[in-house]
Amino acid sequence: MSLSATEAKLVDGALAALLQRYPDPATADPVEFLGAQFDAGLAWAHFAPGRGGLGVSAAWQPDAARRLAHAGAPLTLGDFVAVNQVAATLHAMGGPRHEGLLRRIFTGQDHWCQLFSEPDAGSDLAGISAIAERDGDVWRVTGQKVWTSGAREADYALLLARTDPDQTKHRGMTMFILPMASDGVEIRPLRQADGGARFNEVFLEDARVFEADRLGDVGAGWRVAMNVLGTERDGASNIFVRPIDELLALWSTRRSTAAPATRDAVLRLWIEAKVIGLNEERQRTTRDADEKSRLSAIAKVASSEYAQRLACLSATVAGPAALVGYDYEANFAADMHDSTSSPTKFHTMQLQTFIVRSRAMSIEGGTNEISRNIAAERVLGLPPDIRVDKDRPWREVRNR
């Protein structure tokens, strides 16, 4: 029996057993059903058995998801950061004490955020200055993080902190799990141009994290962070895409008054949407980790800039209706409500919000400049950027 046939048998058997237990998933309690889906290995099919998967190729997960959706199954209640970045990190590096967290991520019982960027360390993430000092079985962390999506609702965070200021800046960092309810954690929402407040700044003052919740070796935080951000780019390439059908429907009602060139612009975007879809299919089916990383970097740039062009053209076609009457306060109120706050529902958010919100898409999920650097170095073989401080101790670089 071939590998693909073996995997098909595993997936088919897991789906059949789950749907036999829940013949009408739409009527089941969502948390209960999602927990059963996790136990069946259909949360992340490529994860190991016992951790929400079946150990099969990642290409089987979209197939299983489509079949479950056809049966009326609920989507995961987990947030984007948790379901993508955190789950992959815990699966790869978490210990036995973290296995229960994976299940609660998929059922949406726990929410997560990512404490990486700082006021002076955005694209240059290796420049972070939040310091973690060990005190027995705990680490005490002091510093400031910014642009943190979902911090107000998060139960836990992936926290990148500097544990050895005397090492070079790429080697002196460590990754931790931080309970967001810990003493010494203060969260302040940041008001955005679209009226919302999905991002936050987080202040850490002697916040405690346990040594048992360290992910990876001490000083290996950069490698862990790169894996996390690679997963983020992979997921972000999908979330920016808004169905082209919406623009087609809008244009069909306005084409009698639209400029003739508008038709060509709509057609170009339709073609672009199809190409992005084919690239996503290639990402899902490749078994080559390096190829997947390269495709993710390319896809993130393509999908975010496509979304910006889609927003711009939608505004052109819609005319004044694109912005007239926009309710900034209602957007703020929605974001401040725990059950509705999400920075990643781009495909369902109000068109007016999407048009304004789209300007940030080339920055979030890893800036497009970083993604272009990855593509330039790993795909085209171009020389990397000059980094004059890479071999100097962080403390020395920081004090310049």
Residue 383 lies in a domain: no
Same domain, yes or no: 373 and 237: yes
Q: How far apart are CA 191 and CA 193, in angstroms?
A: 7
**358 & 249 share domain:** yes
Domain assignment of residue 388, yes or no: no
Domain with 254, as residue range(s), is 233-378
Q: Is residue 396 part of a domain?
A: no
Q: Is 370 inside a domain boundary?
A: yes
Q: Which of the listed residues 169, 192, 223 is the one where a domain comes to its end? A: 223
Determine the pLDDT at residue 314.
93
Q: Please list, residue by residue across 325-336, b when 16 or more beta carbons sit within 10 angstroms of its beta carbon and e when fewer do.
A: eeeeeebbebbe
**81 and 116 fall within a common domain:** no
190 plus 261 within the same structural domain: no
The pLDDT score that the predictor gives to residue 370 is 82
The reply to whether 54 and 141 lie within a common domain is no
Position 391 in a domain = no
- Spell out the alpha helix ranges (H) of the chain: 3-21, 30-39, 60-70, 80-81, 87-93, 99-107, 221-239, 244-254, 260-285, 289-318, 328-335, 351-357, 368-378, 394-398
**Residue after which a domain boundary falls, among 164, 189, 223:** 223
Say what the pLDDT of residue 344 is: 53
Q: Measured between alpha carbons, how far is residue 349 from residues 174, 194, 265 in Å?
A: 36, 12, 23
- The reported pLDDT for the residue numbered 222 is 94
Residue 248 shares a structural domain with residue 371: yes
The Cα 73–Cα 90 span in angstroms is 25
Question: Same structural domain for residues 211 and 252?
Answer: no
Query: Do 130 and 171 fall within a single domain?
Result: yes
Q: Is 394 among the domain residues?
A: no
CATH number reported for the structural domain that contains residue 254 in this entry: 1.20.140.10
**Domain co-membership, 101 together with 151:** no
C-alpha triplet 394, 395, 400: angle, nearest 5° = 95
Closest CA to 354 of 247, 236, 201: 247
Residues 47 and 181 in one domain: no
The mean pLDDT values, 10 residues at a time, for the chain of 400 residues are 78 97 96 97 95 92 93 93 93 88 96 94 88 97 94 96 94 96 96 86 97 95 89 66 88 83 91 88 75 78 91 90 80 70 64 85 81 83 82 78
Q: Tell me, what CATH number does 179's domain have? A: 2.40.110.10
Task: Confirm whether 167 is domain-assigned.
Answer: yes
Report how far residue 180's alpha carbon sits from residue 158's, in angstroms, rounded to the nearest whole number: 10
What pLDDT is attached to residue 341? 43
Same domain as 278, residue 151: no
Is the domain of 214 the same as that of 256?
no
CB of 248 closer than 8 Å to CB of 224: no
**What total number of domains does the chain contain?**
3
Residue 66 burial by CB count (10 A; 0-12/13-18/19+): exposed, middle or buried? Answer: exposed
